[in-house]
Chain A
Amino acid sequence: MVLSRLFASIKVAALVAAFLLHGPLFAAPMESAHDLMSKMAKASRELNYQGLFTYEFRGNLTSVKVAHGVDDGQTYERIQHMDGVQRDVLRRTDNVDCLRTGDMLLRGSAYKINDQSYARLEDFYEFHIKGQGRIANRQVVMVHVLPKDKHRYGYVVAIDKQSGLLLQSVLMSHSGKPLERFQFVDITIGMPFVELGFDLDTSDFAIAALDQSNCIDDNRQITTSVSNWSAQWLPPGFVIASHQIADSNGQESIMFTDGLAVFSVFIDSDPGRSLPAIDANLGATVAVLTKADINNQEYAICVVGEIPRATANQIASAISLSPTSPSSISPLP
């Protein structure tokens, strides 16, 4: 009798304990995966940080030292490859406030495709918070990002708990195999800009100019020149992020993003180039080069991006010249 009553009270106590233990998981302001992703979009642009990361694909491992700082509305970046040939890149982006398509999608805003339809990141990926971990001696939240279709890859990302900075990103194939791994091994975040050691006066910065990626306007769209080329098919969720008109080499480019994955389409009208139709891989990046013969003019169309090869092929074959304006891309004189 006494024993059974004791059991009863233990059971009640255990149930209460169980409730108390798991209760806060529902109630606590545990950051949603979505909040984390939008925090990440902001952090990678707006924070000062420097560190060392490794990049690995197919058994090749490289390490890169980076510094990122914001000063007076401008973003400065220094990228130094630590192995192989000496390579240093200094880069400046002139407007830190420029919100781009990728930023916008990742921050959870919908991108306006047209008056009726919007593109949202959640429609194409599932986000799962997988608990906590430690990367580069910092506490991180692990997030699994799963594609909802076969047209994009998934990611396993580790986001710094304190700052929201992306400290690890593993691109995952559909069969669950890692395709590339980016991971900080050491990082310092939030130091004053001067401590980053950028020499603003004498250094030669490569300018990441505005026209390399268009900013979002008030209408939630990018202001860009209209291309004569269009994709008759795009993987769902991908929207235009920028468009560059034909440069001096006769190359026009259009970039698309779904907020995480990015691919670029290059259209070369220069008939002087004798390029083969070819598929290429660079780590997780695929390049699909196709030839198109339109109005007796030969074009090379190249799709480059971190997307499945089949998708890249499908996009490449869907790129066509708009019938309304047949000859506005002029080949080189």
Chain B
Amino acid sequence: MSDHKERLEQSLSALMDGEATDIEMHRLLKEVSEDSELRAKWKRYHMVSAAIKGDAATATIDYSAAIAAAIDEEPAHRQSGLAVFAGSAGRFAIAASVALVAVFGVQQLNSPLDSVGGISEFAGVEQVDEENTGPAIQFPSGFQPIINARTVSAGGNNKSSQYVTPVIEVRQQVKRKYSEAELRAYMNDVMAKHSNHAALNSNQGMLPFARLNETEAAAQKE
């Protein structure tokens, strides 16, 4: 018996340290309801621990008996046979539905795209490889170049910078003289041609045409 007691006290101090196992906890709860000596010890331990932590040690009243009595009084805890049945059936129903969910869940085939924000998010530009995001300079007709630090004067500060719908984003790699208009014409041309190709080969119906911006669509008509 003293052996048993010793073990209980060890469990109790483990509980005080927050290291008690589930089994120890259950045993303590069971014993503490019957063993007033243990209950007193528990209370003492708590007061000591509270004192050490600097809390006011006010827990001198034992509520446990009153709480236990109050729980017994509650109608919800007086179990009838039907309640036992309903309780078990309910548990089983939950288990069965979990199984069904598991079955359907597997059927659904999870994909990595499920875990992300989803497709309802607004579409954006992938930023992963955009390392050179220097000051943006506006080209006419909706170009929005992202030019790296080496090149700063590629034609900004004209009235075209008031364009607010960036359509083409340009990142310049090499500093060099070139004609802005020529570049624009070239980009529009190749993008229009690409869209035409893509419309025939991507199997996405008319989607590629939507990618064309205004000037490109005009160029394509010519």
Contact = CB atoms under 8 A, between A and B. Distances in A.
Interface of A: 3, 6-7, 10-11, 14, 18, 21-22, 25, 37, 40-41, 44, 53, 55-60, 62, 64, 66, 68, 77, 79, 81, 84-85, 87, 89, 93, 100-103, 106, 126, 128-131, 144, 146, 154, 156, 165-166, 169-182, 206, 208, 212-213, 241-242, 253, 255, 257, 259-264, 266, 268, 273-285, 287, 289, 291, 300, 302, 304-306, 308-310
A11 to B, nearest CB: 7
B210 interface: yes
B221 interface: yes
Nearest to A261: B202
Interface in B105-130: 107-113, 115-117, 119, 121-126, 128-129
Given A10-B89, A212-B196, 16 more contacts: A14-B96, A18-B103, A40-B203, A41-B203, A56-B122, A58-B166, A64-B209, A79-B206, A87-B214, A131-B108, A273-B186, A274-B176, A280-B169, A302-B190, A306-B198, A308-B126
A165 B121 CA distance: 23
A35 to B, nearest CB: 14
- Tell me if A's interface is mostly helix, strand, loop or mixed: strand
Given A7-B92, A58-B166, A144-B113, A178 B124 contact: yes
B194 A304 contact: yes
B218 A87 contact: yes
A290 to B, nearest CB: 8
20 contacts: A3-B84, A18-B99, A44-B204, A57-B123, A59-B122, A66-B209, A85-B218, A179-B125, A206-B221, A213-B197, A264-B198, A276-B173, A276-B183, A277-B172, A280-B169, A281-B168, A281-B170, A282-B187, A283-B123, A283-B211
A128 B107 contact: no
A58 B194 contact: no
B100 interface: yes
Interface residues of B, number: 73
A10 B96 CA distance: 10
Contacts of B88: 3, 7
A10 B107 contact: no
A213 B201 contact: yes
Given A130-B108, A280-B187, A178 B119 contact: yes
B170 A278 contact: yes
Nearest to A103: B203
B88 to A, nearest CB: 7
A102 B201 contact: yes
Nearest to A167: B205
A183 to B, nearest CB: 10
Contact of B191 (A18, A128, A287): A287
